[in-house]
Amino acid sequence: MSKDKSQVPSPLIEGKNYLVLDDRYLLGEQIGSTGCYQLFKSFDIYENHRQLTIKKLSSRGGEESKRFEKEFEILANINYPHLLQAYDYLEHGNSQYILFEFVEGFSFDELLQQEKKLSLPELLAVAHKVTRALELLHMTQTLHLGITPGNIIVHPEEGTVKLLSLGEQIDLVKDKDELGQREDLNYFLPYLSPELVNKSPLEQSDIFSLCATLYQIFLWKRHSPFYSENAFSTILKIESYQPPSLLEQIQKEFPEDLSSAEEKLWGEISTIIAGGLEKDPEKRTKSASELASSFQKLQKKSLSIGHLKKSVAHKKLLAPCEKIGRKLQLDLKKLKAGEKITEESLRQFKVTPVRNRSFAMGFLALALVISAILFFLSSQNNLNKLIQEFRDLNTEKRIASIQEIGEIASENPEAIRFLIPALNDENEKVKNIALQYIEKIGDKSTSAFVQFLRDENSWEKRYNVVSILGEIGKKQPFVIPILAEALQDPDTIIRWKASDTFSLVPYTEEVISHLDKLLQDEREYVRLHATHTLANLGPRAVSVITQLNKILAEDPSEEVKQAIISALGEMGTEAIPTIISALSNQSETIKQKSTTILGEMGEKAIPALKEGLGDEDWAVRYNIVSALAEISQKSSKAIPALVEAIKDSDRIVRWNAAEAFSGVKKQPDEAVKALLELFDDPEIYVRLYALYALKNMGESAQSSLPSLQKLVKEDENGILTEAAVEAITKINGG
């Protein structure tokens, strides 16, 4: 076919220089973005202007580029109605492009904003079809890792259901070693599984994400059950929060509307979703195939309930889901360097978990390691006996063995490292015995703990040990350097736990000494979590205020500086002058953060803020007024300072002070009285901004009306009269 560019639709190119890829595909408007990708509308010039979707990766080269190519290789060879079809792959300049079919419809992110819900049979049909699409991806040894409501497209009238591949597919076999560096996964954080939060993906990770998404969709809510306003809280919810069952939630919303048949159906749905949301992958639903079969059965069951069947508004959504069988042609030769992967071999593919989560097996490994004690034990026969007992994995023998290991460690510190893993034992008695010996040994165990934190691969085990250190730290200071080591952990959740745990340790001077060193660390995340720890210590950390002031001036990290301002806010009145000095920082973000913190500190900040109104920098005075405005909403004690600010020499500061009076909630009459006294001020601009303030107060300034009316009658200055009339009109509700 000839490549005649005149075939490009003229409305698209008139007056604009659109990019045409491969002399064929017209790159249109951007319609979205996710992670490091952008999405565009596109038109195939030589296929009757067929509409497409283009996914663009802006930088070529490296692992990201390889994953992008692999995504096309996988999706181009899968033709399944509930997965987005990939048509072409192109490279242009420094960018790569994948061309997908264009799908009309709405993402569930959009649908969930609407009041009109899909019926339960329709939702079960969507769940069934999306799960079948995920099953097919898993058959190709591929994880999705991006399942959210935004990645499920539905066109109810047309019956379209598509699982989009807008996340990043990861090859279970080839890509495991790269995942520790995949920070972009945080884009999908509220839907990630506990193991994926810590970069250990499994097939079951997608099942968790899908069930978190379906939990939200079945309840027709706008957020994941694990959503929180900050990333740390979201991670904690993913790790520890168990959402109420769907049945419980439905019963709360419709306490009298459920028939017994519906209640039973919701109970079954709840059980399936709960199975997919198990924290431990070994207890979670094993496969997408199992999940899909369950939803298929429940969809049929829902249609046997009369009024549920009548509630279906979009019958095309209930069309049978195409089976994944021999009729589905899979051409996957590119996946293994030319090797043909048959459907049968894919079905036989098994995923081996990255980490073994059995505490018992951990002790089996511990038993093998104990042979190292041979070098310093006087009784070889006794050690052999201990090793054998650990191998037996018998609880009673483990208890006896840990007691003997504790005695050995009491005499020889080299053996302490064999006690620490016992703190993660599934048996409470074993843990308590190990803990007693560690407390007895005291500071001789410090280096062993530090080494454990550096060597242990399981974040869960490190987390548990750091938690236990908090209890020990209430009585013994030797845990302080261990917690300082945990603040440097590569895993965010360990650093947060260490930060919280530090606040339990009463030995303030030693704690501050270690944190002071960490504040100088070259790693941003270490400085950041040292600062969070100071915030947890609150007034106990006032001795570092001078040091924090210096860091505010010198640290290159905006995030660290913001954390410092928050920490200063927790330290109380002694830190207020330092926070006020930050109002002159060159960074607008730091100025805003300081203003917010001062406002949150309330009445105790007023004296220092009032003194700060004398600062020579108008921008500092402006931000001080903003902080006073925040305080004035809760306390009338800020009013005198705001009245003082109305007299400021700078017009912008005066205007901000006048605006601040609109937020005065407490004792407005006191504010009115103070403003009326300004009517006698010799400076006309002071009288003018007092009038602006009364206008901003609106109806709460009723007591000022007589004075305003008098001013209108007596004042000969046109500007003041006009401002007074505006104030009267606003106060009267005009």
pLDDT tens profile 450-500: 888 888 888 888 888 888 888 888 888 888 898 889 889 888 888 888 888
* More confident call, 118 vs 658: 118
Identify the CA nearest to 590 among candidates 557, 612, 614, 629. 557
For residues 131-138, give the mean pLDDT. Answer: 88
In the sheet that holds 50-57, the strands lie side by side as 19-21, 25-34, 37-44, 50-57, 95-101, 86-92
pLDDT at 130: 93
Does pLDDT of 337 surpass 90? no
Q: DSSP secondary structure string, 335-374?
A: GGTT----HHHHHT--PPPSS---HHHHHHHHHHHGGGGG
Mean pLDDT of 393-414: 75
pLDDT at 127: 94
Closest listed residue to residue 57, CA positions, set 78, 38, 34: 38
**How far is it, in rounded angstroms, from Cα 307 to Cα 18?**
52
Lowest-pLDDT range of 56-60, 384-388, 457-461, 665-669 = 384-388
Does 87 score more than 70 pLDDT? Answer: yes
Full-model pTM: 0.45
* Greater pLDDT, 327 or 555: 555
Most confident range (mean pLDDT) of 123-127, 141-145, 301-305 is 123-127
- Sorting pLDDT into bands at 50, 70 and 90, what band is 570? very high
Identify the CA nearest to 216 among candidates 191, 241, 236: 191
First to last CA, the chain: 70
Give the pLDDT band of residue 394 (cuts 50, 70, 90).
low
**Helix or strand holding residue 266 (H, E):** helix 260-276
Q: Residue 167 has what pLDDT?
A: 53
pLDDT of residue 706: 92
Lowest average pLDDT, out of 154-168, 171-185, 268-282, 460-474, goes to 171-185
pLDDT band for 372, please (50, 70, 90 cuts): very low
Alpha carbon distance 720, 718 (integer Å): 6
What average pLDDT does this structure show over 510-528? 88
The pLDDT assigned to 197 comes to 61
Give the pLDDT of residue 360.
28
Quick: pLDDT tens for 688-697: 888 888 988 8
**DSSP secondary-structure letter at 321?**
P
Q: Which amino acid is at 108?
A: F
Average pLDDT for 616-644: 89
Q: Which of 294-303, 416-425, 481-490, 557-566 has the lowest mean pLDDT?
A: 416-425
pLDDT higher than 50, residue 377 = no
Whether pLDDT at 229 is above 80: no
Take residue 30 and report the two structure tokens written for it. 């951007």
Higher-confidence position of 110 and 201: 110
Mean pLDDT over 428-446 rounds to 87
Task: Over range 55-79, report the average pLDDT.
Answer: 79
Q: Decide which of 152 and 181 is more confident.
A: 152
